[in-house]
Amino acid sequence: MSATKHNWTKEEILEIYNTPLMELLYDAATIHRKHHDPNTVQVSTLLSIKTGGCPEDCGYCPQAARYHTDVEGNDLMSVQQVKAQALRAKSSGSSRVCMGAAWRNVKDGEEFDQVLEMVRTINKLDMEVCCTLGMITENQAQRLAEAGLYAYNHNLDSSEEYYKEVISTRGYEDRLETIDNVRKTNVTVCSGGIIGMGEKTEDRAGMLVALSTLNPQPESVPINALVAVEGTPLEDQKPVSIWDMVRMVATTRIVMPETQVRLSAGRTEMTREGQAMCFFAGANSIFAGDKLLTTPNPDVNEDMEMFKLLGLNPQKPFIKKMQPETVEAQNSQYQALGEKPKWTRPEHTIERNEEAKQKAKALK
Ligand code: SF4
């Protein structure tokens, strides 16, 4: 039976987050060693398979159609393009490919069928496949599972309270429902958030409460530092300090000991020393490639140099869970249902999101 604690409170998590740093690092590193090889870090490649034009209003995101950013929209990539990129990623040490599409939710039809084919193709390359496609129903999650999906990413972003300050076009409960739909399958859950959006420390703790009290806890938790992109409502946010990042990583490691903690967006702002501290504090995955969906990321060669310097080894795929079997489309036991679920549209107004929208309209 797992001894993982599932009833963390905000107060307990805040106390951990605010522990004197040396003690916090020691505690996190001790827990990390008990559950993971401290010299192994997974390299994942994030691929934007459909970029821009998203109808949502996430205040941090340059892919939202309503903001005026430099992001160029792209239609869904072909299966062949995705396969070529996955092979390139594999040859440079990645064991996982995460495919992101800027959709509010998945719609049954040709495009989803194409994504299912991408999942089958990458799984057959013996790489872990993760998708982040927005909200999905249980049937869609089952279809992804059958295609060989290893993980589904759906971030909670922040605490429930602060979420309402960043996104107005869908609710926190929708996020939790999608996570729940994924949980009903054998696909693992990847869910984390972003720090540096103007939230309080309490919100960071609140997000960790929401994640750590899920039972089972997510197998993967990405911790992102906001990359403030011009044209988005959060363009003026100051970069998050490395000390906050280290505290957040260490706290995540302590409250979710078995989880793969992913050092995600914002690594270009971090020194190698800073990243090394995050690995020591329990981060055991990075995203490789010069772009993270649409924002800059360190070059893969730089990362490999850093691995050499720190004596880190890239993690092999399927260490935590067996490779899923791929069921071909014609043998599938799940069919497209064409469901139209009632995801909420809270439609409350966030002033800075509205301002950014008006500014973008004026620039057109
Ligand atoms: S974060 Fe995702 S859902 Fe939100 S605007 Fe960007 S692409 Fe759309």
pLDDT tens profile 8-43? 999 999 999 999 999 999 999 999 999 999 999 999
Q: Which of 96, 120, 130, 131 is flagged as catalytic? A: 130
Does 351 reside within a domain?
A: yes
* DSSP H or E run through 225: strand 220-225
Active site residue 170: no
Our answer on whether the CB atom of 265 is closer than 6 Å to any ligand 1 atom is no
Q: From the candidates 183, 204, 262, 267, which is the catalytic residue?
A: 262
State the total domains in the chain: 1
Residue 273 is assigned to a structural domain of this protein: yes
* Residue 94 pLDDT greater than 50, yes or no: yes
Q: Which atom of ligand 1 is nearest to the CA of 132?
A: 2
pLDDT tens figures, 214-247: 999 999 999 999 999 999 999 999 999 999 999 9
pLDDT-derived band at 66, boundaries 50, 70, 90:
very high
- Residues of the chain above pLDDT 70, percent: 97
Residue 69 inside a domain? The answer is yes
Give the model's confidence band at 137: pLDDT under 50 very low, under 70 low, under 90 confident, else very high: very high
44 belongs to a structural domain: yes
The pLDDT value recorded for residue 73 is: 86
278 given a catalytic annotation? no
Structure tokens of 98? 């995460």
Residue nearest to atom 4 of ligand 1 (CA): 58
Read off the pLDDT of each residue in 106-117 and give the average, rounded to a whole number. Answer: 97
Mean pLDDT of the chain: 94
Q: Residue 18's CB: how many other CB atoms inside 10 A?
A: 13
- Residue listed under structure tokens 């393009």: 81
Q: Which residue has the tokens 């309402």?
A: 164
Cα distance between residue 182 and residue 244, in whole Å: 30
Residue 358 has pLDDT above 50, yes or no: yes
Query: Can you tell me which atom of ligand 1 is nearest the CA of 134?
Result: 3
Q: Residue range 260-277: average pLDDT?
A: 93
Q: How much is the pLDDT for 265?
A: 85
Q: The tokens of 154 are what?
A: 């759906």
**pLDDT tens column, 290-341:** 665 666 667 778 888 999 999 999 999 999 899 999 999 999 999 999 999 9
Residue 82 — very low, low, confident or very high, per pLDDT cuts 50/70/90?
A: very high
pLDDT at 1 over 60: no
Q: Which residues have a Cβ under 8 Å from the Cβ of 260 and sit 6 or more positions away?
A: 42, 219, 220, 221, 284, 285, 320
Q: Is the pLDDT of residue 109 over 90?
A: yes
User: How remote is the CA of residue 27 from the centroid of ligand 1, in Å?
Assistant: 35
Q: What is the pLDDT of residue 295?
A: 67
Ligand 1 touching residue 149 (CB < 6 A):
no
The reply to whether 3 falls in a domain is no
What is the pLDDT, as a whole number, of residue 294?
A: 67
CATH number of the CATH domain containing 356: 3.20.20.70
pLDDT, tens only, 140-186? 999 999 999 999 999 999 999 999 999 999 999 999 999 999 999 99
pLDDT of residue 149: 98
Cβ of 61 closer than 6 Å to ligand 1, yes or no, is yes
Q: Which of 46, 49, 54 gets mutated to test ligand 1 (max ligand atoms within 8 A of its CB)?
A: 54
3-state secondary structure 231-287: CCCCCCCCCCCHHHHHHHHHHHHHHCCCCEEEECCCHHHCCHHHHHHHHHCCEEEEE
Q: State which amino acid sits at residue 315.
A: Q
- By alpha-carbon position, which residue is closest to atom 7 of ligand 1? 102
Is 192 among the domain residues? Answer: yes
Q: Is 104 a catalytic residue?
A: no
pLDDT of amino acid 158: 98
Could you tell me what percent of the chain has a pLDDT over 90? Answer: 86
CA–centroid distance, residue 61 to ligand 1 (Å): 6
Distance from residue 167's CA to the centre of ligand 1 (Å) = 10
- Three-class DSSP category at 358: helix
190 is catalytic: yes
Domain annotation covers residue 305? yes
Domain span at residue 257 reads 19-318+340-363
Whether 98 is covered by a domain: the verdict is yes
